[in-house]
């Protein structure tokens, strides 16, 4: 545990087998992973499956509120939760740079295992590759998630309808600002931690209250603005948001001001956007506020008929502006 990863740890031979046994196998231990075949085999759950994949390349690897290990669990669990699905299984693919400290790898793996345990998912199969120094950046992790959807629950990006209410589950922009605060070339400090969290418990409460949620999506890279534009495009609708209704922490607003960023373009890793029929909005909001991860939920706008599929913002000063997709590279390597 005091050494470093070398190329033999990815060579497919004895050193790799030992790393898989003693580090990954020990931390992720469960009966499916213990099969130690080229694949995990299990009975298909009854129903419709949701499958999602994400690679995590965040820099730095450890940040206020989490690390790449917990993020790689939360992010993928959340993409399953956005289908209204119950997350069941994860796969874990590691690409490690030669020279990476085994101690740091151990911390990441422990954090990943803890996040999976807390979310009730098992890491059932994995892969370990090592690339030469200078050909990677510490650790990249891919997680693919498999979950099972609930009967009668089918949120989708193309189901937003004029008149629907648009809700957000809490404060916007925390993750991106927390990551920026750790970057050495950015000269500000904040007490903001990433909001990184698994949202399937919140979603369970939400679909119990309102099974017919039209759309669920987590506003990660590109932020709330991009996510709403994606939905507007998929559904062929417009939206009007109320700026004063969007929960943004003072420190986040201040940091964004300093950096010339729009908090609506900043990434989140523990928030969701929900869209439902206007008549369901109060019930859904109550369900969200009744869950710790939705305590600061708010209705932030409504869906309208608009052939241009514009997302508009009614500003605090009574004006109106277009909220566009994220353009350019704003914040690389935030997830």
- Whichever of 95 and 299 has its CB closer to a second copy, that residue is 95
**């345990």: which residue's tokens?**
117
Of residues 269-298, those binding Mg ion (CB under 5 A):
none
Q: How far apart are CA 183 and CA 189, in angstroms?
A: 10
Binds 195: which of Mg ion, a second copy, ligand ATP, none (CB < 5-8 Å by kind): none
- Whichever of 7 and 245 has its CB closer to a second copy, that residue is 7
Q: How far apart are CA 194 and CA 181, in angstroms?
A: 10
CB of 59 to ligand ATP, least distance (A): 15
Of residues 222-241, those binding a second copy (CB under 8 A):
222-223, 226, 230, 234
Q: How far apart are CA 54 and CA 123, in angstroms?
A: 15
CB of 252 to ligand ATP, least distance (A): 19
Q: How far apart are CA 219 and CA 226, in angstroms?
A: 8
> Applying CB under 5 A, does 127 fall inside the site for Mg ion?
yes
CB neighbours of residue 332 within 10 Å: 8
* H helix intervals, 183-319: 200-209, 223-235, 250-259, 281-289
Tell whether omega for the bond before 60 is within 30 degrees of 0, i.e. cis: yes
> Applying CB under 6 A, does 20 fall inside the site for ligand ATP?
yes
DSSP 8-state assignment for residue 20: I
> Applying CB under 8 A, does 191 fall inside the site for a second copy?
no
Number of residues that bind a second copy (CB under 8 A): 90
> Applying CB under 8 A, does 91 fall inside the site for a second copy?
yes
**What are the Cα distances from residue 309, in Å, to 136, 236, 237, 312?**
39, 6, 5, 10
> Applying CB under 5 A, does 67 fall inside the site for Mg ion?
no
Binds 226: which of Mg ion, a second copy, ligand ATP, none (CB < 5-8 Å by kind): a second copy
Binds 49: which of a second copy, ligand ATP, Mg ion, none (CB < 5-8 Å by kind): a second copy
Contact string (CB under 8 A) for a second copy, positions 123-162, x = contact: -xxxx-xxxx-xxxx--x-x-xxxxxx----x-xx-----
Of residues 204-223, those binding a second copy (CB under 8 A):
217-218, 220-223
> Applying CB under 5 A, does 184 fall inside the site for Mg ion?
no
CA torsion through residues 152, 311, 190, 59, sign: positive
């Amino acid at each position: 545990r005091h050494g470093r990863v070398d190329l033999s740890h990815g060579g497919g031979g004895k050193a790799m087998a030992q790393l898989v046994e003693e580090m990954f196998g020990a931390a992720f231990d469960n009966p499916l992973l213990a099969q130690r075949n080229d694949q995990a085999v299990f009975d298909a759950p009854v129903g419709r499956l949701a499958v999602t994949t994400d690679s995590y390349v965040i820099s730095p690897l450890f940040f206020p509120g989490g690390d790449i290990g917990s993020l790689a669990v939360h992010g993928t669990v959340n993409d399953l939760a956005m289908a209204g699905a119950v997350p069941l299984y994860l796969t874990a693919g590691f690409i490690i740079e030669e020279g990476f400290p085994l101690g740091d790898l151990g911390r990441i793996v422990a954090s990943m295992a803890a996040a999976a345990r807390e979310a009730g998912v098992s890491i059932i199969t994995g892969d370990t590759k090592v690339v030469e120094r200078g050909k990677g950046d510490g650790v990249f992790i891919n997680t693919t998630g498999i979950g099972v959807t609930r009967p009668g629950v089918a949120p989708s990006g193309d189901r937003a309808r004029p008149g629907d209410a648009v809700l957000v589950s809490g404060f916007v922009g925390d993750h991106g600002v927390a990551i920026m605060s750790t970057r050495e070339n950015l000269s500000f400090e904040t007490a903001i931690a990433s909001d990184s969290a698994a949202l399937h418990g919140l979603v369970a409460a939400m679909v119990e209250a309102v099974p017919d949620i039209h759309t669920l999506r987590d506003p990660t890279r590109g932020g709330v603005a991009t996510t709403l534009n994606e939905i507007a495009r998929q559904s062929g609708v417009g939206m009007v948001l109320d700026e004063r209704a969007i929960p943004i922490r003072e420190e986040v607003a201040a940091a964004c001001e300093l950096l010339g960023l729009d908090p609506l373009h900043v990434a989140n890793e523990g928030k969701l956007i929900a869209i439902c029929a206007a008549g369901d909005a109060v019930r859904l909001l109550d369900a969200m506020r009744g869950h710790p991860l939705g305590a600061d939920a708010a209705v932030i706008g409504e869906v309208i008929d608009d052939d241009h599929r514009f997302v508009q913002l009614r500003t605090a000063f009574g004006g109106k502006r277009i909220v566009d997709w994220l353009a350019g590279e704003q914040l690389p390597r935030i997830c």
